[in-house]
Amino acid sequence: MELPKLSIAALGGTVSMQARNAGEGVVPTVSGETLVSALEELKTLAKVRIETLGLLPSASLDFEFLLSVLSWANFQIKQGATGVIITQGTDTLEETSTFFDYLWRHPEPLILTGAMRSADQAGADGPANLLDACRVAVADDSRGRGVQVVMNGQIHSANAVRKTDSLALHAFSSPITSPVGLLVEACVRYLRPPSPRNVLPLPQVTSQRIALVEATLSADSAWLENLVALGYDGVVIAGFGAGHVSASWARAIEQVAATIPVVIATRTGSGSTARSSYGFSGSELDLIGKGALMAGFLCPRKARILLWLLVGCQRQDELADFLAAD
Ligand code: ASP
């Protein structure tokens, strides 16, 4: 029987890191080809094509680079790949997965993975995560699920996954929803059917700037007041609790929302923003009245990605509909 075709792109991150000299910190050095060559089992699972597209810590990835990775991934599907896998740093995985998910229009799976332990560390999790990602990518049940993150034996949907621990092996979780699937004895087991997806066209513009500002106790509003003058095209506020800010921030938001989109998310790390409960100055009802939109379950960082993409394809008028779906 012919093996399915998988394409793997390596971008860098801890999965590719090791120390150049004893006692030095780890840096991205290991190519995708080397990562894959260590996975004997993969040879019986799929016919693999691998490219090292970057060796970067994931904090230094940017939207332009991600668009070029997306175009590489689209080409792999055109060439007949059953699925595509991207290995990258875990620090920004919750953002890159959302970015790709809004733009991924194929039924074939796009799977993102990485590692919490560097390649030269005892018990490195990179090889196991990469093998699991390949198992998910070839599974028939993975079709139509968009972009997913596979880490630590769990499969997470792009719209839910968060990095919720800085260093632990179980750094990734999907608050509220839990993982969408698991790897059980090397088999892919989905716990829920696929959810409907919203796919956007490629952005025609990439120079837009979207700020993300966290509300904090007794914070002044100077930066917020100057966002428009600073040239920002939109802002996401990581608000207190259910999406709240102070009375002084509420006044600043009213001014800003008259010119650019303002989205209020929750800084709590889990749960939805409110839309109709509180009425004090700085509450969600007050902010909605002042022109802001509530992010629902979408976390601040994912809301920023959505706004960047919508502004980039001149569809910011649809922001409310996209957020209502969350
Ligand atoms: N600690 C990160 C990682 O897990 C570094 C990065 O994101 O590149 O890969």
Do 307 and 319 contact (CB within 8 A), yes or no? yes
Within a domain: residue 64? yes
Together in a domain, 172 and 297: no
Q: Which residue has the tokens 């995708």?
A: 32
Within a domain: residue 62? yes
Integer angstrom CA distances of residue 48 from 138, 277, 317: 11, 52, 42
DSSP label at 293?
E
Within a domain: residue 76? yes
Q: Which of 17, 86, 88, 90 to mutate for ligand 1's pocket (most ligand atoms within 8 Å of CB)?
A: 90
Phi, psi of 139 (to 5 degrees): -70, 130
Question: Looking at 141, 157, 190, which one is the last position of a domain?
Answer: 190
Q: Which residue has the tokens 């509530």?
A: 294
Q: Around Cβ 18, how many Cβ atoms within 10 Å?
A: 16
Using CA atoms, how far apart are residues 214 and 193, in angstroms rounded to an integer? 34
Using CA atoms, how far apart are residues 117 and 105, in angstroms rounded to an integer? 32
Question: Looking at 159, 190, 221, which one is the last position of a domain?
Answer: 190
Together in a domain, 110 and 229: no
Distance 125 CA to ligand 1 centre (A): 13
Is the CB of residue 239 below 6 angstroms from any atom belonging to ligand 1?
A: no
User: What is the model's pLDDT at position 298?
Assistant: 97
User: What is the model's pLDDT at position 110?
Assistant: 98
Is the CB of residue 4 below 6 angstroms from any atom belonging to ligand 1?
A: no
CATH number for position 156: 3.40.50.1170
Count structural domains, the chain.
2
Within a domain: residue 40? yes
Distance 293 CA to ligand 1 centre (A): 32
Flag residues of the chain having pLDDT under 70.
Answer: none
Do 173 and 297 contact (CB within 8 A), yes or no? no
Using CA atoms, how far apart are residues 144 and 94, in angstroms rounded to an integer? 20
> Collapsing DSSP states into helix, strand and coil, what is residue 162?
strand
Within a domain: residue 36? yes
> Collapsing DSSP states into helix, strand and coil, what is residue 109?
coil
User: What is the model's pLDDT at position 144?
Assistant: 98
Using CA atoms, how far apart are residues 178 and 170, in angstroms rounded to an integer? 13
Together in a domain, 50 and 123: yes
Together in a domain, 181 and 224: no
Model pTM? 0.97
Together in a domain, 119 and 221: no
**Which structural domain range is residue 238 located in?**
210-325
Together in a domain, 256 and 115: no
Using CA atoms, how far apart are residues 64 and 315, in angstroms rounded to an integer? 19
All residues at 6 or more sequence positions from 229 whose CB lies less than 8 Å from its CB, including other chains:
none
User: What is the model's pLDDT at position 176?
Assistant: 92
- Written as one letter, the residue type at 12 is G
Within a domain: residue 201? no
Using CA atoms, how far apart are residues 164 and 218, in angstroms rounded to an integer? 26
Using CA atoms, how far apart are residues 137 and 188, in angstroms rounded to an integer? 10
